[in-house]
Amino acid sequence: MLRASKVFTIENPQEFKMKLLHWSEQFREVVFLDSNQYHQKYSNYEVVLAVDAFTSIKTDFYNAFDDLHQYQSKTQDWLFGYLSYDLKNDTEALTSKNFDGLAFPDLFFFQPKKLFFLKENHVEMQYLNLCNDELEEDFSAISNTNSICDFATLREIKIQQRISKEAYLQKVSKMLEYIHHGDIYEANFCMEFFAKDATINPIEIYHKLNAISQPPFAVYFKNYHQYLLSASPERYLKKKGAKVISQPIKGTARRNSYPILDEQSKVDLENNPKERAENIMIVDLVRNDLSRTSTKGSVEVEELCGIYTFKQVHQMISTVVSQVENTTSAVEIIKTTFPMGSMTGAPKISAMKIIEELEETKRGLYSGAVGYFTPHGDFDFNVVIRSILYNAKNQYVSFSVGSAITSEATPEGEYEECLLKAKAMFEVLK
């Protein structure tokens, strides 16, 4: 379907961004992607908003990638949505039998009636032709939306831990046994924190979570009563033309308020042998995944163990790229690399089997990916980490945290790392 397009000039982009998000809340389907003005080599937009499904696809893992390919081929339009971690069961002989309190579909995408692309002091609005007479009217309504909301105080949320500390230490010890026996080199082990009978204001929680770290791949996602509030710093996979880009994160160091000590923290991270080994293991896995669809000899490591600074932490990020033929479908590239190596381990299939055995919660959208396809078959997806998931219908709130277990790991050290990663989510849910 054709889209009507119009570009409007805006005086205050940051304020307009907030107005846009609050205006979007009237719709059943919302995907709001915010780079928080974090400009990097592969950035396209500062903010993208997609609302109001014209068509959609919702399915469990069975034949999910084939169904998505058919849907994407048929629509040849912008599609926004998510891939849950459990799509692993569509590509390998794997299962997901752990507890699921959220009950999200394994895959959901929609073709939005209304699209917004914010860059500098301009917003481009692209509407399906059935809505094109609403362009001016909506811009006026957004401009007049109150961007500052007074949030009502809701009742206290009682957060519980799915795996006790004692059980966590035992499970990591078991994972280390698998490593010492040579079954795996590395695996990402996660645990869930949750609250029952919980009522939250999703936009308020998203604002608070995003403000803490202002990451480059933040997401506010809504599908009726299902929400994702994500402060993700990590790109899973992007395709632009014939080029495919993966940017796995492994390696984290805290920021310091003293500039000299903060700089030293970066140097220490860059030279930390354990962090470098974790990152390089995942780079090797990503190279192998990309080679399944790449043109011969085109997979290369564009940057190995680069150090990037965010509001709260320094991160070690590598960039792996490849070239693909124009006959290779977008969904095939995703299918052969999913789930991402940074959230699984190496070897990948063995790691996922052990993860399923030792974890106690179905990951679902956590450690999956949110993003979009363009009408021309390009795409961009994040990694769903540092995120809160909420099912308003059954009043269940969930967030998970994890760490990479290698032969160098100690159960106590990994437990402390998980609590550190959970800190922001605890803060915003107080």
Q: Which of 128-132, 197-201, 227-231, 248-252 has the highest mean pLDDT?
A: 227-231
As given in the structure block, the two tokens for residue 76 are 């040849």
DSSP state of 297: T
Task: Flag whether 97 is in a domain.
Answer: yes
Of 203, 37, 45, 20, which Cα lies nearest the Cα of 114? 20
Q: Each residue of 353-396: pLDDT tens digit?
A: 999 999 999 999 999 999 999 999 999 999 999 999 999 999 99
Q: What is the pLDDT of residue 205?
A: 94
First-to-last alpha carbon distance for the chain, in angstroms, is 45
How many distinct structural domains can be found in the chain? 1
Q: Each residue of 166-199: pLDDT tens digit?
A: 999 999 999 999 999 999 999 999 999 999 999 9
Contact 369/210 with Cβ under 8 angstroms?
no
CA distance 281 to 271: 16
Phi, psi of 45 (to 5 degrees): -130, 160
Q: What is the pLDDT of residue 149?
A: 62
| pLDDT grade for 153, boundaries at 50, 70 and 90 | low
The total of other beta-carbon atoms located within 10 Å of residue 258's CB is: 9
Q: What is the pLDDT of residue 188?
A: 96
Q: Each residue of 74-112: pLDDT tens digit?
A: 999 999 999 999 999 999 999 999 999 999 999 999 999
Task: Flag whether 202 is in a domain.
Answer: yes
Q: What is the pLDDT of residue 152?
A: 58
CA distance 235 to 230: 13
Task: Name the packing angle between helices 13-24 and 202-213 (round to 10°).
Answer: 150
- Strand pairing partners for 319? 303
Average pLDDT over residues 417-428: 91
Helix (H) or strand (E) holding 413: helix 411-428
Contact 75/368 with Cβ under 8 angstroms?
no
CA distance 257 to 269: 17
Q: What is the pLDDT of residue 50?
A: 98
Q: What is the pLDDT of residue 103?
A: 96
DSSP state of 102: S
CATH number of the domain that residue 187 is part of: 3.60.120.10
Task: Flag whether 73 is in a domain.
Answer: yes
The secondary structure of 9-61 as a DSSP string is E-S-HHHHHHHHHHHHTTSSEEEEEE-TT---TT---SEEEEEEEEEEEEE-S
The vertex-405 CA angle with 273 and 387, nearest 5°, equals 105
Share of the chain above pLDDT 90, in %: 89
As given in the structure block, the two tokens for residue 218 are 């933040």
Task: Flag whether 409 is in a domain.
Answer: yes
Q: What is the pLDDT of residue 151?
A: 59
- Strand pairing partners for 5? 126
Q: Each residue of 40-84: pLDDT tens digit?
A: 778 888 999 999 999 999 999 999 999 999 999 999 999 999 999
- Strand pairing partners for 379? 239, 373
Contact 215/312 with Cβ under 8 angstroms?
no
Task: Flag whether 153 is in a domain.
Answer: no
* Cis omega (within 30 of 0) for bond into 339: yes
The vertex-198 CA angle with 194 and 203, nearest 5°, equals 95
The total of other beta-carbon atoms located within 10 Å of residue 420's CB is: 14
86-95, 142-151, 202-211: the lowest-pLDDT one: 142-151
Task: Flag whether 150 is in a domain.
Answer: no
Structural domain of 285? 3-144+158-428
User: In angstroms, what CA-CA distances link 263 with 273, 275, 420?
Assistant: 18, 17, 21
229 vs 153, more confident: 229
Q: What is the pLDDT of residue 150?
A: 61
Q: What is the pLDDT of residue 154?
A: 63
Task: Flag whether 295 is in a domain.
Answer: yes
Q: Each residue of 3-36: pLDDT tens digit?
A: 999 999 999 999 999 999 999 999 999 999 999 9
Contact 245/319 with Cβ under 8 angstroms?
yes
Spatial neighbors of 75 by CB under 8 A, at least 6 apart, are 55, 111
As given in the structure block, the two tokens for residue 430 are 């107080």
CA distance 192 to 175: 18
The secondary structure of 248-289 as a DSSP string is -EEEEEE--SSHHHHHHHHHHHHT-HHHHHHHHHHHHHHHHH
Average pLDDT over residues 404-429: 92
84, amino acid identity: S
Q: Specify the 3-state DSSP secondary structure of 343.
A: helix
Task: Flag whether 149 is in a domain.
Answer: no
- pLDDT of 326 > 90? The answer is yes
Contact 299/290 with Cβ under 8 angstroms?
yes
